[in-house]
Amino acid sequence: MPIRTLLIFGGRSAEHEVSILSARSVAEAAPKSRIEIVPLCIAKDGRFASPERSARILGGDERSDRGDDDFSFDSWVRGAAIEVAFPLIHGTGGEDGTLQGYLEIVGIPYVGSGVTASAIGMDKGHMKYAFAAAKLPMVDFVQVHENDWLNERERIMRAVNNALRLPYFVKPANGGSSVGVTKVKNDADLSAAIEKALRFDEKALVERGIDAAEIEVAVLGNDDPQASVPGEIIAGREFYDYEDKYVENNTQLIIPAKLPKEKTDEIRRMAITAFKAIGAAGFARVDFFLERGKNRLYVNEINTIPGFTKISMYPKLWEATELKYPRLIERLIELGLERSRARAARYESTMKWFDEVKGIV
């Protein structure tokens, strides 16, 4: 029998439309004899749409602005015989641990990282602290909290000027698809860039900009993760922003990246280290900067629910590593179920220990 899989998409984030594209690609490519897709959309207002309406949204026949007043997910899921969920909500509310926590509460196994890893991976400030603990190289940065910005703007501007040199990249600490990111070439534009980033999150990061190639690696697995071949992104605009990714589509993807074997091996090792540093599971994409002239490598960030459209880097990287898209989908579901079984066994062992202690007392 096919594995009955709840494909969750949409969400209340700037990446809502991208999530629909990712889910549509998965629904079309999943091997029908082994995976039964049940679509479930979280509308832009944060409410669920029924599976029937979600299917129409996925097919492009209906809008996803509002959920269904008369649909209760809690009631529906009890009789739905769902075996595993595949969350494909990028960004806030889907990639940050909140959806994962909800799935834990209702007892549905799911694909991808758990609550803690999702939260750390989403928050670029906490992510960088985890990377620092793993001794991974990163570009210099300054973290800006909204309350500090409102009350101590001049001090923060001085701190950035003292710690970094132009150009800067300013971004929300929580977010994805380069939404809210600005390249700052002179200090007069820094304030507006921070204001823009703080529209999307309560924290912003100001990072030192470097002349670098952008390299990405896909990671797959649970306790023994594997890394794909690296790929290089050549942006069609000044940097790889939202419009370049999803609107203008002028980006070039070079897969595999044209790198010496020793540099390729180093990048793949570092990608696995980054994956383990935040405690990720299932899948993630790790992004790097390779500084031109110095050949120095920096970890930029990790994405625990990377773009999954047919043109996205994650599936393309695995295809170049001889793992085709339909099999990749199937493998992710297998990993989600594997992780769920391991956690269930641990829970059972824990409860058995409590019973033994009660017997002693």
Tokens of 231: 């790929």
Query: Which residues, in sequence order, are bridge partners of residue 234?
Result: 252
Average pLDDT, the chain: 93
Nearest to 197 by CA among 121, 140, 146: 146
Scored b (16 or more CB within 10 A) or e, 95-128 reads bbbbbbebbeeeebbbbbbbbebbbbbbbbbbbb
Q: What is the pLDDT of residues 226-280, one digit of tens each?
A: 999 999 999 765 655 555 555 556 678 999 999 999 999 999 999 999 999 999 9
Q: What is the pLDDT of residue 123?
A: 95
pLDDT of residue 215 exceeding 70, the answer is yes
Q: What is the mean pLDDT of residues 185-204?
A: 95
Task: Give the Å distances, CA to CA, from 95 to 176, 236, 276, 302.
Answer: 9, 27, 17, 11
Question: How many angstroms separate the most distant Cα atoms in the chain?
Answer: 70
Q: Which architecture does CATH list for 3-111?
A: 3-Layer(aba) Sandwich (3.40)
Q: What is the mean pLDDT of residues 182-192?
A: 95
The domain defined by 121-137+210-323 carries CATH number 3.40.1160.10: no
Nearest to 335 by CA among 284, 283, 282: 282
Q: How do the domains of the chain map onto residue ranges?
A: 3-111, 121-137+210-323, 141-208
Q: What is the mean pLDDT of residues 300-323?
A: 94
| Distance, CA of 231 to CA of 237 (rounded, Å) | 18
| Distance, CA of 54 to CA of 43 (rounded, Å) | 9
Q: Which CATH superfamily is domain 141-208 in?
A: ATP-grasp fold, A domain (3.30.1490.20)
